[in-house]
Amino acid sequence: MRSQSERPYPLFRNLNAKIASIPMVLTALVVFVGGTAWTVLYSFTNSKLLPRWKFVGLDQYERLWSTPRWLVSIENLFIYGALSLIFSFVIGFLLAAMLDRKIRFEDTFRTIFLYPFALSFIVTGLVWQWLLNPDFGVQHVVRSLGWESFTFNPLYDRELVIYGILIAALWQGTGLIMCLMLAGLRSIDEDIWKAARVDGIPVWKTYLFIVIPMLRPVFVTTLVIIASAIVKVYDLVVAQTGGGPGHASEVPAKYVYDYMFLGQNLGQGFAASTMMLLSVVIVIVPWAYLEFGRRGRR
Amino acid sequence: MSERATLAMPVAGADAAASDLAGPRGRKPRRTLSRRNIILYGTLFVVAVYYLLPLYVMVVTSLKGMPEIRLGHIFAPPVEITFQPWVKAWAEACTGLNCDGLSRGFWNSVRITVPSVVLSIAIASVNGYALANWRFKGAEVFFTILIVGAFIPYQVMLYPIVIILREMGIYGTLTGLVLVHSIFGMPILTLLFRNYFASLPEELFKAARVDGAGFWGIYLRIMLPMSLPIFVVAVIIQITGIWNDFLFGVVYTKPDLYPMTVQLNNIVNSVQGVKEYNVNMAATLLTGLVPLLVYFVSGKLFVRGIAAGAVKG
């Protein structure tokens, strides 16, 4: 297709394909590259209600990192991120491994584990808000069974609120991780299992030393998926706690929204969103390098 | 289980029937009620109960009256079933001064989801087709930007899009929101369609070209009819994704046009008035009903969709 270079107007060659790609080109250049560059640039201005091009250097970032609410958001993101990473991996893998043991009713179990993923974060947050309600929910139920001093009230406890959100997030998201891991486990050659069994290697050892190392690509993909989802966590917090009690369950994405659209402090919003971008870059770039850099372009 | 049994005696090989008669040799095939199985199924059962509990509590709570909720506990089945909370959630629940229930949000969501699904899939399928079969110079560069862009947090692009939509005069309208959904659906859908079209046999495409079919002719008459499954997967990804969206809905529309998720959140988390938990749960269930229906009807295709759509995060 490429050899006909003697044609006069190379721009009009393959014109229909180019027309069909206009939305993609516009999205890529204007929204993704342009929008990102715009936000990063304007994070160096003191824009308030409307974007204004008045350069103030790193002022917004200095203010950002001295705002307690932002620091709480970052701390929450780290706790939530680390724990949701660990637990989604462990739970997702264990569920997948159990479903992969050639069990009966596999489809039923998988359907049950995955259905929360079809629900929105808003629905998830509201259900768990109700379940963790201290006056009616789990705490009340256990107390009414006779254990009067039982306390499980994460959503109204500043120290525990992020764990309350984590519980909801795990309920919603582990099904997906399970599915990804299950797909990975299914891709492993049956002969490897046979060989391990012939050699008399116990099942758990086969998993630990043979299967898990083989699943590395699946793990890496899963890691990237979970990590980029962690940074984006927003709706769940809005629905479940609204960032409360106080600012105890704030997350960066909510900080950005509140400053941009409620606080009329665009510059802060831009600076905070740029920090979010930075954290994604830190996760994505090494991954992209490892995955695609060594292999070269396809 | 049967496969394990055969594996246990590879030596028996061809005369398996004979060895059956001669009595078992080697290790005994495990019984269904072995300790391993009890642990396995037991764990799975407990986990399944845990995953189902919130759904159960939602249903049960939404069918109780408020007095019963105050007296009993959340896991108790309703003594007296009432559908009043559902009626109220659908037609009377208040957000701010409006008291016309979730029905408004539902129809808004329908008016957002249907055109967004159609538009985004139309754009992305043609685009994926161009990338797979009509590659032009530079196409891969834009495609790479598009895929990398899928990882950028939405928050970074929120405000620039506000400006773009305002310039176009569609900020705060459903048209604007449909456009936003089409834009952010593009990376994953384009990837999906590109990979699918690239996996179709190239001879087909070449034969059609020899017969004189052009870009659109091949797309409409050959690619489209051949790729029904992938279109279904795309529709599933988009319906659930767009229906469940909250952020874009709240940023790019006005209160009258809020999608169901935003309205639901406003109803449940409103600070005024007495909390009516049964109405709240009925409203929550109503909002979750559409994606749940899609999920249970589509079954394995949904799994395929999320495996592909997982990149969307």
Question: How many CB pairs lie under 8 A apart between chains A and B?
Answer: 267
* Residue-level pLDDT at A283: 79
pLDDT digits (tens, 9 = 90+) for B71-101: 878 888 888 888 988 998 898 887 777 778 8
Q: Which residues of B touch A235 (CB under 8 A)?
A: 246-247, 261
* Residue-level pLDDT at B259: 94
CATH of domain B103-312: 1.10.3720.10
* Residue-level pLDDT at B24: 57
Q: What ipTM describes this predicted complex?
A: 0.87
pLDDT digits (tens, 9 = 90+) for B8-22: 444 434 444 444 555
Tokens of B69: 């909720």
Q: Distance, in angstroms, between B68 CA and closest chain A CA?
A: 11
* Mean pLDDT taken over chain B: 85
Nearest residue in chain B measured CA to CA from A130: B277
Q: At what angle do helices A266-288 and B154-168 cross, to 10 degrees?
A: 120
Which of A15-19, A97-101, A202-206, A292-296 is predicted with the least confidence, judged by mean pLDDT? A292-296
Per-residue b/e over B274-307, b at no fewer than 16 CB within 10 Å? eebbbbbbbbbbbbbebbbebbeebeebbbbbbe
Tokens of B221: 């008459």
pLDDT score of B311 more than 50: no
Q: Which residues of A touch B258 (CB under 8 A)?
A: none
* Phi-psi domain of B27 (left: phi exceeds 0; alpha: psi -120 through 50; beta: other): beta
Give start and end residues of each alpha helix (H) in B101-252: 103-133, 139-149, 154-168, 174-199, 202-210, 215-218, 224-226, 228-243, 247-252
Closest residue to B48, CB basis, from A112, A225, A229: A112
Closest among A117, A82, A96, A86 to A215, alpha carbons compared: A96
Closest residue to B158, CB basis, from A13, A116, A260: A260
CA atoms within 13 A on the CB side of A250: 20
Which of A211-220, B91-100, B132-141 is predicted with the least confidence, judged by mean pLDDT? B91-100
Tokens of B79: 């003594």
* Residue-level pLDDT at B107: 94
pLDDT digits (tens, 9 = 90+) for B170-190: 999 999 999 999 999 999 899
CA atoms within 13 A on the CB side of A210: 19
Nearest residue in chain A measured CA to CA from B263: A122
* Mean pLDDT taken over chain A: 87
Tokens of A126: 């509201």
The C-alpha atoms of residue A255 and residue A263 are separated, in whole angstroms, by 10
Nearest residue in chain B measured CA to CA from A21: B127
Strand, coil or helix: what is A143? helix
Closest among B61, B265, B304 to A126, alpha carbons compared: B265
Closest residue to A95, CB basis, from B47, B146, B277: B47
B201 class by beta-carbon count within 10 Å (0-12 exposed, 13-18 middle, 19+ buried): exposed
Q: Distance, in angstroms, between B99 CA and closest chain A CA?
A: 20
Q: Which of residues 9-48 of A touch B (CB under 8 A)?
A: 13-14, 16-18, 20-21, 23-25, 27-36, 38-40, 42
* Residue-level pLDDT at A239: 93
Contact A137, A131 (CB under 8 A): yes
Residues A31, B269: C-beta atoms closer than 8 Å: no
pLDDT score of A242 more than 70: yes
Q: Which residues of B touch A136 (CB under 8 A)?
A: 69-70, 73-74, 277
* Residue-level pLDDT at B310: 53
What phi, psi does A49 have (nearest 5°)? -75, -40
Tokens of A217: 């690509």
Tokens of B203: 């001879």
pTM for the structure as a whole: 0.86
Q: Distance, in angstroms, between B21 CA and closest chain A CA?
A: 24
Amino acid at A236: L
* Residue-level pLDDT at B17: 44
* Residue-level pLDDT at B10: 41
Q: Which residues of B touch A123 (CB under 8 A)?
A: 244, 261, 264, 284, 287-288
Residues A232, B41: C-beta atoms closer than 8 Å: no
Closest residue to B146, CB basis, from A27, A109, A221: A27
pLDDT score of A270 more than 70: yes
Residues of chain B with CATH 1.10.3720.10: 103-312
* Residue-level pLDDT at B122: 95
Nearest residue in chain B measured CA to CA from A271: B156
Full DSSP string of chain A: ----TTSS-GGGTTHHHHHHTHHHHHIIIIIIIIIHHHHHHHTTB---SS----B-TTHHHHHHHT-HHHHHHHHHHHHHHHHHHHHHHHHHHHHHHHHTTT-TTHHHHHHHHHHHHHS-HHHHHHHHHHHT-TTTSHHHHHHHTT-TT----GGG-TTTHHHHHHHHHHHHHHHHHHHHHHHHHHTS-HHHHHHHHHTT--HHHIIIIIIHHHTHHHHHHHHHHHHHHHHH--HHHHHHTTT-STTTT--HHHHHHIIIIIS--HHHHHHHHHHHHHHHHHHHHHHHIIIIITT---
Give the confidence band of B25 by pLDDT, cuts at 50, 70, 90: low
Dihedral Cα A146, A148, A152, A153, nearest 10 deg = 130
Q: Which residues of B touch A242 (CB under 8 A)?
A: 269
pLDDT digits (tens, 9 = 90+) for A135-180: 888 888 888 888 888 888 888 888 899 999 999 999 999 999 999 8
Bridge partners, B172 (sequence order): B253
The C-alpha atoms of residue A8 and residue A10 are separated, in whole angstroms, by 6
Closest residue to A242, CB basis, from B160, B161, B269: B269
Q: Which of A15, A94, A127, A223 to mutate to test the interface with B (most CBs of B within 10 A)?
A: A127
Give the confidence band of B29 by pLDDT, cuts at 50, 70, 90: low
* CATH architecture of residue range(s) A43-293: Orthogonal Bundle (1.10)
* Residue-level pLDDT at A183: 86
Contact A83, A165 (CB under 8 A): no
Strand, coil or helix: what is B95? strand
